[in-house]
C-alpha cells in the first residue's frame, strides 16, 4: 500500500511537471525592435454600407475603394466602367461622389484608388448586352462571355466564348497615360473638386494585370501583354503621376495571388542568362528606371493574397508565410517556379522577406519602399478562427512595418478584432518573444515615450487554454491590478455594434515585480493594458464623450477637458492623416482644468488628437484653420 502511494505521488508529480512544461513564457522588451506602426494596416476594401459612426467606433483607418477588376476600365471623365464579370456591360460608377463622401464624413481616413494601365476604358452605356431581356438579368455560366458591343451568347457552351464577340470599339475608348493621371488635376488641381491630396495619396497601379487575358479578354484577345511591355506602361504612368503629385504613394504591381508573385503568365524572363521570377524582375526594372530617370516609381510593393489552408489549424499558421523562413506553407505553388523550372521541394514561402531582399539588392540601403496587401482572405469562415487568424496577421504586420492591409473577404469576427487592435494598440511595436511562438504569440505596442503599453496575447490552440507568464523588461509598472480585454467564444452572429457594444470581455490581472500570469482560453485574443491601474472593472473605463476638444477649427491653442474623478496622467499626441506623429504632451489632469497644446507651428489641415489616460485611448479629429 505504501509503495502504491509513493508511486502514485511520483506519477502525479511527473504529471504536474509535464503540465507546467507546457506553460508559455513570453518576454517583452520595450526598448528592442521599436518601430512605428502604420495605422493603414487597419484597413478594408469597399466599405461604407454602414452608418458613419460605426466605422469610427471600429477604428477603420484605411479604405481601398477602387473595386478591383472594375477599376481597370474606369472612365473618370464620364464616371462609368465596364464590368468584366457581367458581359462587359457598362455601368455608372462615381469615384468623385464617393471621395467627397469620405472627405466629408471620414477626413481622418486614408483612401486608395487606382490608375488604369490597360489602355482602354468604358465609353458609353448605349451598347450593353440586354441581360434583362435575355433572362431577367439572372446569373448563368455565360456571364463572362463578351457580349457588350453586339455579341451573341453561346448557350450550347456557356463556359466558352460567345458565338459572336462584342466589338470593343462600340463600348470602350482609348485611354493613354495622360488621361489616367488626369484625375489628379480633376480632384486636386486648380478648378478641381478641392479634395485634400494627402487623404488620397495611395494609388494602385491598376489591378491584377497579370491575368488580364482572362478578366479583360475582350481587350486582351491576343493574350497577355509581355512583362516588359507592361513595365513600360507602368513606368510611364508612374512617372506622370509623380510629376503631378510628388507626394503620391505608388503601389504595385497588385498581383493576383501566390502563383502570380513568381510567374507573369507563361513567360520565362531571362536577362543576360539569368532567370528572374516576376517580382524580382518587377523590382529590377523599376530600380533601373529610377537610376536612369531620377524619378521614384514605386512606394509600396502591393500584393493580393488568398491563402490556402486545407485545415483550420493550417489557417491559424498562415501569418507565417510572409517572413518565417522555416514555415512549410501548404499553399506553396508558384514559389516552386522561382528558379525557372519546377522544384517540388520548395515549400518555404516567406514572400515579404524575399521582396525585402530584392529591394535591398536593386535599390540599396534606406530605399524607403514598404510592403502592403490590398486583397486578402482569412481562409476560414469560423468567427473564432477568423478572429485569431486576423489578429495574428495584424500583429505580424505591425511588427514588420507593413504599410497597409485591406482584406477583400470580410468574415464575422473581423470587426471585433479590428476594433481591439486599432482602438487599443499604441503607436510603436516592440519585441515580444514566446517560448512557443507558433501556438501563443504576444504583440506588444508602446507609446513613443514607452510610458504606456498594450500586450496582446493570441492563443491559436483550438482546444486548450494556455497558462502564459509574461515578463516585462525596460518598462516599469507598479505592483497592482491591470485591465484586460478579451475576444473568445464568439457566436456565429455578428457581435460588433459599437465601441461600447461589442464582444470584448473585461477582466484584470495582477502584476508583481514586472511579471504577470494569465490563463487564455482556446482561440482567443487578449489585450493587457498598462498603466491602467484598476480598483474595479466598471470604474476603470471612461466613455469617449468624456473628452471635449475645442475650439474647432483651431488656430493656435487646442484645449481638451477630460472628465475624471481623480488626478491622472494624460498623454496627448497629434498625428497627421498619414499616421505621422506631429507633437506630444504628457500632463496631469484633475478633470476640471483644460489641458492645452500649442499647435501654432502646425500647417493648416486635418489632424487627429490621440488621448491616452488610464490605458484607454480615444481619438478626436480636428482642423487647423488660420
Which residues are registered as beta bridge partners of 373?
Answer: 303, 405
Which residues are registered as beta bridge partners of 569?
Answer: 588
| CA-derived radius of gyration, the chain | 27
Which residues are registered as beta bridge partners of 607?
Answer: 622
Burial class (CB in 10 A: 0-12, 13-18, 19+), 529: buried
Contact 260, 210 (CB under 8 A): yes
- Write out the three cell numbers for 114: 487606382
- Write out the three cell numbers for 97: 461622389
Q: What is the per-residue pLDDT for 283?
A: 98
Q: Is 588 helix (H, G, I), strand (E, B) or coil?
A: strand
pLDDT average per 10 residues of sequence, the chain (626 residues): 41 40 89 96 94 96 97 98 97 97 96 98 98 97 97 96 97 98 98 96 98 96 96 98 97 98 97 97 98 98 98 98 98 98 98 98 97 98 98 98 98 98 96 98 92 96 98 92 95 97 95 97 97 38 58 84 67 73 77 78 81 71 80
Q: What is the per-residue pLDDT for 571?
A: 81
Q: Is 264 helix (H, G, I), strand (E, B) or coil?
A: strand
**CA-CA-CA-CA torsion sign (138, 139, 145, 148):** positive
- Write out the three cell numbers for 293: 530617370
Burial 207-246 (b: 16+ CB within 10 A, else e): bbbbbbbebbbbbbeeebbebeebbebbbbbbbbbbebbe
Residue 469 C-alpha from the chain's centroid: 30
Task: Determine how β-strand 110-115 pairs with β-strand 202-205.
Answer: parallel
DSSP symbol at 123: -
Provide the CB-side half-sphere exposure for 611 (13 A, CA).
Answer: 28
Task: Determine how β-strand 440-446 pairs with β-strand 35-36.
Answer: unpaired
SS3 content of the chain, % helix, strand, coil (to 5): 30, 30, 45
**CA-CA-CA-CA torsion sign (421, 426, 428, 429):** negative
Q: What is the per-residue pLDDT for 11?
A: 40
Residue 136 C-alpha from the chain's centroid: 38
Return the closest-CA partner of residue 62 out of 370, 557, 407: 407
Does residue 566 come out as left (phi exceeding 0), alpha (psi in the -120 to 50 range) or beta?
A: beta
What the chain holds in terms of domains, given with CATH numbers, is: 544-624 (2.60.40.1930)
User: What gap in Å lies between CA 326 and CA 254, rounded to an integer?
Assistant: 26
- Write out the three cell numbers for 591: 478633470
Q: pTM for the whole thing?
A: 0.83
User: What gap in Å lies between CA 65 and CA 109, rounded to an integer?
Assistant: 12
Q: What is the per-residue pLDDT for 590?
A: 64
Contact 608, 574 (CB under 8 A): yes
Residues 6 or more apart whose CB falls under 8 angstroms from that of 291 comprise none
User: What gap in Å lies between CA 73 and CA 81, rounded to an integer?
Assistant: 5
Q: DSSP states of 361-419 as a string?
A: HHH-TT---EEEEEEE--S---HHHHHHHHHHHHHHHHHHT--EE--SS--TTHHHHHH
Q: What is the per-residue pLDDT for 96?
A: 98
Task: Determine how β-strand 35-36 pairs with β-strand 428-434.
Answer: antiparallel
Amino acid at each position: 500500500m505504501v509503495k502504491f502511494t509513493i508511486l502514485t505521488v511520483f506519477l502525479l508529480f511527473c504529471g504536474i511537471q509535464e503540465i507546467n512544461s507546457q506553460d508559455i513564457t513570453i518576454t517583452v522588451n520595450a526598448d528592442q525592435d521599436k518601430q512605428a506602426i502604420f495605422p493603414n494596416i487597419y484597413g478594408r476594401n469597399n466599405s461604407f454600407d454602414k452608418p458613419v459612426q460605426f466605422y469610427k467606433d471600429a477604428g477603420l483607418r484605411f479604405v481601398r475603394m477602387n473595386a478591383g477588376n472594375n477599376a481597370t476600365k474606369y472612365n473618370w471623365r464620364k464616371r462609368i466602367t465596364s464590368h468584366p464579370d457581367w458581359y462587359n456591360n457598362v455601368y455608372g460608377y462615381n469615384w468623385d461622389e464617393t471621395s467627397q463622401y469620405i472627405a466629408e464624413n471620414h477626413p481622418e481616413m486614408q483612401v486608395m484608388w487606382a490608375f488604369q494601365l490597360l489602355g482602354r476604358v468604358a465609353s458609353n452605356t448605349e451598347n450593353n448586352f440586354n441581360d434583362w431581356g435575355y433572362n431577367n438579368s439572372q446569373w448563368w455560366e455565360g456571364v463572362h462571355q463578351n457580349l457588350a458591343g453586339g455579341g451573341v451568347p453561346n448557350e450550347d457552351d456557356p463556359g466558352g466564348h460567345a458565338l459572336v464577340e462584342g466589338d470593343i470599339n462600340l463600348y470602350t475608348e482609348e485611354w493613354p497615360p495622360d488621361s489616367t493621371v488626369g484625375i489628379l488635376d480633376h480632384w486636386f488641381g486648380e478648378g478641381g473638386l478641392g479634395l485634400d491630396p494627402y487623404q488620397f495619396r495611395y494609388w494602385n497601379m491598376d489591378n491584377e494585370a497579370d491575368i488580364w487575358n482572362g478578366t479583360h479578354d475582350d481587350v486582351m484577345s491576343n493574350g497577355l501583354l509581355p512583362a516588359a511591355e507592361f513595365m513600360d506602361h507602368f513606368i510611364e504612368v508612374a512617372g506622370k503621376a509623380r510629376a503631378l503629385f510628388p507626394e503620391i504613394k505608388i503601389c504595385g504591381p497588385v498581383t493576383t495571388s501566390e502563383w502570380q508573385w513568381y510567374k507573369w503568365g507563361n513567360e520565362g524572363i531571362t536577362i543576360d542568362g539569368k532567370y528572374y521570377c516576376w517580382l524580382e524582375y518587377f523590382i529590377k526594372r523599376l530600380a533601373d528606371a529610377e537610376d536612369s530617370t531620377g524619378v521614384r516609381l514605386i512606394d509600396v510593393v502591393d500584393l493580393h493574397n488568398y491563402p490556402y489552408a486545407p485545415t483550420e489549424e493550417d489557417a491559424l499558421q498562415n501569418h507565417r508565410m510572409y517572413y518565417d523562413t522555416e514555415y512549410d506553407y501548404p499553399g506553396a505553388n508558384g514559389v516552386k517556379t522561382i528558379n525557372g523550372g519546377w522544384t517540388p521541394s520548395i515549400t518555404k514561402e516567406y514572400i515579404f522577406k524575399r521582396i525585402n531582399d530584392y529591394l535591398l539588392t536593386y535599390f540599396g540601403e534606406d530605399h524607403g519602399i514598404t510592403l502592403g496587401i490590398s486583397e486578402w482572405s482569412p481562409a476560414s469562415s469560423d468567427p473564432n478562427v477568423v478572429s485569431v487568424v486576423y489578429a495574428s496577421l495584424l500583429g505580424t504586420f505591425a511588427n514588420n512595418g507593413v504599410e497597409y492591409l485591406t482584406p477583400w473577404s470580410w468574415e464575422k469576427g473581423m470587426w471585433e478584432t479590428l476594433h481591439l487592435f486599432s482602438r487599443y494598440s499604441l503607436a510603436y511595436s516592440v519585441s515580444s518573444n514566446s517560448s512557443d511562438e507558433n501556438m501563443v504569440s504576444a504583440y506588444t505596442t508602446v507609446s513613443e515615450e514607452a510610458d504606456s503599453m498594450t500586450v496582446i496575447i493570441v492563443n491559436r490552440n483550438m482546444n486548450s487554454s494556455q497558462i502564459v507568464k509574461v515578463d516585462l523588461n525596460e518598462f516599469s509598472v507598479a505592483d497592482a491590478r491591470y485591465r484586460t480585454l478579451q475576444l473568445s467564444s464568439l457566436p456565429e452572429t455578428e457581435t460588433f455594434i459599437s465601441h461600447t457594444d461589442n464582444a470584448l470581455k473585461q477582466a484584470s490581472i495582477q502584476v508583481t515585480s514586472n511579471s504577470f500570469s494569465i490563463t487564455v482560453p482556446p482561440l482567443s485574443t487578449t489585450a493587457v493594458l498598462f498603466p491602467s491601474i484598476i480598483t474595479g472593472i466598471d470604474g476603470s473605463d471612461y466613455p469617449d464623450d468624456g473628452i471635449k476638444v475645442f475650439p474647432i477649427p483651431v488656430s493656435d491653442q487646442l484645449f481638451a477637458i477630460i472628465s475624471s474623478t481623480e488626478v491622472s496622467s494624460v498623454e496627448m499626441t497629434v498625428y497627421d492623416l498619414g499616421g505621422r506623429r506631429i507633437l506630444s504632451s504628457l500632463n496631469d489632469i484633475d478633470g476640471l482644468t483644460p489641458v492645452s497644446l500649442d499647435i501654432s507651428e502646425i500647417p493648416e489641415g486635418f489632424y487627429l488628437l490621440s488621448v491616452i489616460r488610464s490605458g484607454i485611448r480615444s481619438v478626436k479629429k480636428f482642423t487647423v484653420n488660420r
